[in-house]
Amino acid sequence: MPNQRATSALDLHLQLDRSPGTGLRRGLTAALREDVRTGRLTPGTRLPSSRVLAADLGIARNTVADAYADLVAEGWLTARQGSGTRVAERPVAAPSRPEVPPRARVRPTYDLTPGTPDLASFPRAEWLRAARRALARAPHEALGYGDPRGRPELRVALADYLARARGVRADPERILVCAGFTHGLSLLGTVLRERGVRTVAVDEYGLDVHWNVLTRAGLSTVPLPVDEHGTRTTGLTAARGGPGAVLLTPAHQFPLGVPLHPDRRAEVLDWARRTGGVVVEDDYDGEFRYDRQPVGALQSLDPDRVVYAGTASKALAPGLRLAWLVLPPALAGEAAEATGGHSRCGVLDQLTLAEFLASGAYDRHVRASRLRHRRRRDQLIAALAVRAPEVRPTGIAAGLHAVLRLPPGTEETVVREAVWQGLALHGLSSHRHPQAGPAPAADALVVGYGTPPDHAWSGALDALCRAVP
């Protein structure tokens, strides 16, 4: 009996007409019929028992039972012993959809767009164990609104990990947990704008979503040239508008894949000290270097001038919506205020990631991912050397994507051919800032080799080799 009570105590909102002259049975029948007819109650939906609905509505149980019986007889409802009363299955007209061009309806067989890891490799079992441990240990107050900077358990775990793995000089009090890098960048944009910054320098090749975030914060972006040594930081003093901040990917420039030269690291920090400028370091895949130890974070050279930004999107999954900012002391309080006084990150995921980091599971997963991505990159280069020798991979052995240089004038054709081969990928030109100067003769593809699941990788590689010259 307790189980039956639990399964039948369903909530149901009804607009019941109780005006004088309207019988309760007739009004209830009409309300239920209308909700089924309009689709608010979909086929198969289980209704509350007559006893529960009668108690909720404050009417006699027989009135509800009679209304149910009327609608069963009309075919709107079904009633079976042990299954309760449900909305009857009936044809429902599909909503009309706008016509879509045929090419837009084709879903690619293989996804080689950059920025996403192999989601099938997410460590579900380990994550679940960490979640159970974290939830069992969490104090009751952890389930409240909490600190806008994020849970202290996660900020402490991040400070330890980042200091050890990336050389970041991190104080938990200056870490702000955010819902992805774009959320963190939006908060920084607000802080910079309120500090009087109007222009942010960015690389001439990068992500338009980041430029758009800064634009929505009321900031303009000016592009800096990039060459084989990374961002040409001498352009900071010559950039239009005198930028008050610069956004860089110094460990592995996105998308060109080169690290920022040591001389230029020193140069950008010298610019920040001289001008009071802010350096935003996007360390989006700094843990994934395959030919040597990863380059340490730029932030370690001057934590008073550099905002360090990291994310779980590449190492774990973007769907977690977990990223972090390590802020200079002068910006930490303002960034916390920019959150509006509350965190946008789920507390259970924060606690789980804290446990995942503290237990060493994160390190183990990163090591396994590093081996898998290195193997894929090696396979990509080997396949191109045999099947497409005119295509030249560039950049360091790092990250989850590679830039493939193409013969001059072929990028658009190859991207089009890739679509016919069932591939989703980006041409390098799609990552170029709209205000950048005349584009150099650099036709190329940006290939995300981390995205396909293991079972699809060989097929994706074959399709890529067929698409390129």
159: CATH: 3.40.640.10
Let me know: does 155 contact 172? Beta carbons within 8 Å: yes
Q: Please determine, for residue 5, whether its predicted confidence score (pLDDT) is greater than 50.
A: no
Cis peptide before 408 (omega within 30 of 0): no
pLDDT (tens digit per residue) in 151-192? 999 999 999 999 999 999 999 999 999 999 999 999 999 999
pLDDT of residue 18: 75
pLDDT band at 3 (very low <50, low <70, confident <90, very high): very low
- In this structure, the answer to whether residues 190 and 68 fall within a common structural domain is no
> Residue 438 — very low, low, confident or very high, per pLDDT cuts 50/70/90?
confident
Tens of pLDDT along 206-238? 999 999 999 999 999 999 999 999 999 988 876
pLDDT at 1: 37
Contact criterion met (CB below 8 Å) for 220 and 241: yes
Indicate if the pLDDT at residue 121 is higher than 70. yes
Residues 449 and 400 sit within 8 Å (Cβ to Cβ): yes
Between residues 342 and 248, which one has the greater pLDDT?
Answer: 248
Q: What residues pair up with 200 in beta bridges, in sequence order?
A: 221, 245
Same domain, 411 and 455: yes
User: Which long-range contacts does 363-372 make (Cβ < 8 Å, 24+ apart)?
Assistant: 363/165, 364/126, 365/123, 365/126, 365/315, 365/316, 366/287, 366/288, 366/315, 368/121, 369/117, 369/121, 369/288, 369/315, 370/287, 370/288, 370/290, 372/118, 372/121, 372/454
Of residues 401 and 92, more confidence is placed in 401
Number of domains the chain contains: 3
* Tokens 């679940």 sit on residue: 128
Q: Which long-range contacts (CB under 8 A, 24 or more apart) does 383-386 make?
A: 383/461, 383/464, 383/465, 384/465, 384/468
Based on the fold, state whether residues 249 and 313 are members of the same structural domain.
yes
Query: Taking residues 23-45, what's their average pLDDT?
Result: 91
Question: Which residue blocks in 110-151 are alpha helix, DSSP H?
Answer: 124-137
**Does residue 189 lie within any of the structural domains?**
yes
* Interstrand relation of 444-448 and 401-405 (parallel, antiparallel or unpaired): antiparallel
Q: Is 451 contained in some domain?
A: yes
Q: Which stretch of 27-31, 93-97, 193-197 has the lowest confidence by average pLDDT?
A: 93-97
What is the rounded average pLDDT for all residues in the chain? 92
Q: How many residues are recorded in the chain?
A: 469
Per-residue pLDDT, 420: 93
Establish if 103 belongs to a structural domain. no
Domain assignment present for residue 95? The answer is: no
Of the two residues 103 and 19, the one the predictor is more confident about is 19
Q: DSSP label at 205?
A: B
Domain contains 124: no
pLDDT in tens, 307-351: 999 999 999 999 999 999 999 999 999 999 999 998 999 999 999
Instruction: Please state, in angstroms and rounded to a whole number, the distance separating the CA atoms of residues 241 and 228.
Output: 26
| Mean pLDDT, residues 2-11 taken together | 53
| Phi, psi angle pair for 245, to nearest 5° | -155, 160
Contacts by 2-5, CB closer than 8 A, 24 or more apart: none
Mean pLDDT on 1-17? 62
Give burial (CB, 10 Å; 0-12/13-18/19+) of 18.
Answer: exposed
Is the same domain home to 327 and 275? Answer: yes
Closest CA to 439 of 403, 408, 400: 408
The whole-number pLDDT of residue 241 equals 60
Q: Do 295 and 182 share a structural domain?
A: yes
Interval 131-151: pLDDT, tens: 999 999 999 999 999 899 999
Interval 82-108: pLDDT, tens:
789 999 987 655 445 455 454 444 578
Confidence of residue 239 (pLDDT cuts 50, 70, 90): low
Task: Domain of residue 452: give its range.
Answer: 110-118+364-467
Tell me the pTM: 0.86
What is the full DSSP assignment across 290-352?
Answer: SSSSPPPPGGGG-TTTEEEEEESTTTT-GGG--EEEE--HHHHHHHHHHTTSS--S-HHHHHH
**Cα 173 vs. chain centroid, distance in angstroms?**
25
**Which residues have a Cβ under 8 Å from the Cβ of 2 and sit 6 or more positions away?**
none
237 and 177 share one domain: yes
Supply 60's token pair: 């006699």
Report in angstroms the alpha-carbon separations of 5 from 13, 51, 62. Answer: 19, 10, 18
Same domain for 337 and 191: yes
Residue range 39-44: average pLDDT? 91
Q: pLDDT category, 440, cuts 50, 70, 90? A: low
What percent of the chain is predicted at pLDDT more than 90? Answer: 83
Asked whether residue 246 falls in the same domain as residue 329, the answer is yes
What's the CATH code of the domain at 460? 3.90.1150.10
From 321, 304, 303, 325, select the one nearest 312 (Cα to Cα): 321
